[in-house]
Chains A and B, each alone.
Chain A
């Protein structure tokens, strides 16, 4: 880590104003003029991925807004965070999107929520605030009260247009035909093949980040669980780990094992659900019914051992709230049955020509596109990006266990299905290891007072890398940035569908398994 920091320092010595380190996070405050060059250098030259950009409103204390660029040094379990100061009276700062495509939505998000303008952004349209939101009002600024209800104003959202002979548009959503979340898709097609797709989201924006600043710490864990319902455990764990890092707590080993088990149970039911969805969307009902039954088996197991089908209410700052050690035999027995049935299911799916015909070469995301957009999780791994937070930044009890990270290069729906299938088998093995080596002792430690400070919390949810950055002050949350994996992955769908036919869109969408609520918050 030091060598990387030294090399950056050597290159940009006169532009770095301050360097500070806390645990595995190194903060570099730099001049805003140099930010594009530095991000480009770190991202392309040092090959360190940009995992998050967020802003903070520190006008009260320091008189500035700050924008933070978080880079993840996977090889060394460390993070480099670049910071720039932005004066409220002159809210422009250089956009890095032209150099680092992954920054696109982050900069537009900051523009809407903080009113800081990314100068030179190739697509400066609004993202979260819809066209009926009045100009000049930015919800995450400290002087905006959460209860304010800004009036609706006249406005128009302009979609990209594709013109030409025989080209027509298909608008879909926000209320869809299936039981899925709201979002708008606008296809431009010529005959069957899709020649352009534009997605529009943030219909389910619920003001979660602002809400974190207005609720007590004990309630905040429950809010984190409700950012993306089917990733409840991952969000709660990432949140709790950030808080524990701030407090310098080391939670009991038993709690770490229980968290690992819960995270893997969540991965299993999500992945089986995705495989069921793919089978449904290619009209292979028999396979879908089989997979849905397996998913239900896991949900019922969840309920028996934790009281919640979606494993909610289990995590707390300082550990877990309920011991599952007494259900050890039940979990092992059920998982062995599920494992056997699941292997049969995969054999069935992959030997069904009508299914294979629909998923092979469909919805391809090439490695360079996936890398450029910073696609994470199983979708990224199916496109050859070998990253997994569990291995690269170990948390909970993952350091103690053996597991493989399945990677494929094909990048199509088939590859994503295979990666998910392999991950389920790894997850079952992980739970077995965690249960066999479950240490004795407490399941939580008291966490009454959280000192002032800031830290990153991270976790590999079923959808991929989930990141929290939290700053506390006086036992309250001053800023909580949440970055759900879907926020990174959504844009990849615009590339995945190109040259595919419209009826294949649902399959591609399902294979990417994206959360609307986690993205919109």
Chain B
């Protein structure tokens, strides 16, 4: 199976989910909280003509105020902690947070030091973890799909309660 086939299969599954839950599309704001920029290379790859995630209804937007989901990379540095919190608070609820890359998941090789907080979930609640250093574009798409599944659960739970 080629990369293109893999993407086509996963993308269609993702597209179905997005249509079911969001009606048409999912808006993502990417936040670099101190990554080494390898994750940014892969996020940028997502919008190249090979992967082209826009066709599955995924849009990377310019502001957290337009976003349904934050895609956070990096171990969260001491100097980025406040900016990450502000971005999270600016995102309207119900919101999803995906931690992308090993550093975002648990601090990775940078760990928990004077300059690194050691993972996104130390600062804001995380819905889904996408491991890899950096994760391949296919893995990111799969992770986004899992995240949307979680939102589905979140919504159905609130419906039961109400």
Contact = CB atoms under 8 A, between A and B. Distances in A.
Interface of A: 130, 139, 144, 146-150, 174-175, 177-182, 202-208, 210-211, 219, 222-223, 226-230, 232, 273, 289, 292-293, 295-296, 299-300, 303, 309-310, 312, 515-518
B75 interface: yes
A229 B38 contact: yes
A237 B26 CA distance: 41
Given A178-B62, A204-B79, A310 B134 contact: yes
A174 B82 CA distance: 10
A229 B39 contact: yes
A441 B139 CA distance: 37
Interface of B: 3, 30-45, 48-51, 60, 62-64, 74-75, 77-80, 83, 86-87, 108-116, 133-134, 136
B77 A310 contact: no
A146 B111 CA distance: 10
A296 B80 contact: no
Contacts of A300: 3
Given A181-B35, A204-B79, A310-B38, 12 more contacts: A175-B86, A175-B87, A204-B35, A205-B115, A206-B115, A228-B37, A230-B38, A273-B41, A273-B44, A310-B41, A516-B37, A518-B37
Nearest to A139: B114
A164 to B, nearest CB: 30
B41 A202 contact: no
A309 B41 CA distance: 10
Contact of B113 (A211, A227, A299): A211
In this complex, the member of A226, A232, A303 whose beta carbon has the largest number of chain B beta carbons within 10 angstroms is: A226
22 contacts: A146-B113, A146-B114, A147-B112, A175-B31, A179-B40, A181-B35, A182-B34, A203-B34, A203-B80, A203-B83, A204-B34, A204-B74, A204-B79, A205-B34, A206-B115, A210-B113, A229-B36, A229-B37, A273-B41, A293-B49, A309-B42, A312-B133
B50 A179 contact: no
Nearest to B33: A182
Given A223-B109, A300-B3, A181 B37 contact: yes
A296 B116 contact: no
A205 B77 contact: yes
A226 B112 contact: no
A295 B48 contact: yes
The 10 residue pairs across chains A and B that have the minimum distance between CB atoms: A229-B38, A207-B115, A177-B62, A292-B48, A229-B36, A229-B37, A204-B34, A226-B36, A203-B79, A517-B36
B34 A206 contact: yes
A203 B41 CA distance: 19
A174 B134 CA distance: 22
Contacts of B133: 226, 312
A64 to B, nearest CB: 24
Contacts of B44: 179, 273
Contacts of A310: 38, 41, 134
Nearest to A178: B62
B114 A148 contact: yes
B114 to A, nearest CB: 5
Interface SS of B by simple majority: mixed
A179 B41 CA distance: 9
B36 to A, nearest CB: 4
In this complex, the member of A174, A180, A295, A296 whose beta carbon has the largest number of chain B beta carbons within 10 angstroms is: A174
A484 B3 CA distance: 33
A390 B107 CA distance: 35
B83 A182 contact: yes
A175 B38 CA distance: 17
A181 B49 CA distance: 22
A203 to B, nearest CB: 5
Contact of A130 (B37, B79, B87): B79
A206 B48 contact: no
In this complex, the member of B110, B113, B115, B134 whose beta carbon has the largest number of chain A beta carbons within 10 angstroms is: B115
In this complex, the member of B30, B51, B74, B109 whose beta carbon has the largest number of chain A beta carbons within 10 angstroms is: B109
Contacts of B41: 229-230, 273, 310
B40 A207 contact: no
A296 B39 CA distance: 15
A232 B108 CA distance: 16
Contact of B49 (A182, A222, A292): A292
Contacts of B86: 175
Contacts of A226: 36, 38, 108-110, 133
Nearest to B45: A296
A229 B115 contact: no
B79 A180 contact: no
Given A175-B83, A292-B49, A204 B109 contact: no
Nearest to A291: B48
Contacts of B35: 181, 204, 229, 517
A379 to B, nearest CB: 17
Contacts of A518: 37
Contact of B110 (A206, A293, A516): A206
Nearest to A303: B136
Contacts of A144: 114
Nearest to B79: A203
Contact of A293 (B48, B114, B136): B48
A147 B83 contact: no
Nearest to B111: A211
Contacts of B60: 179
A182 B80 contact: yes
B113 A147 contact: yes
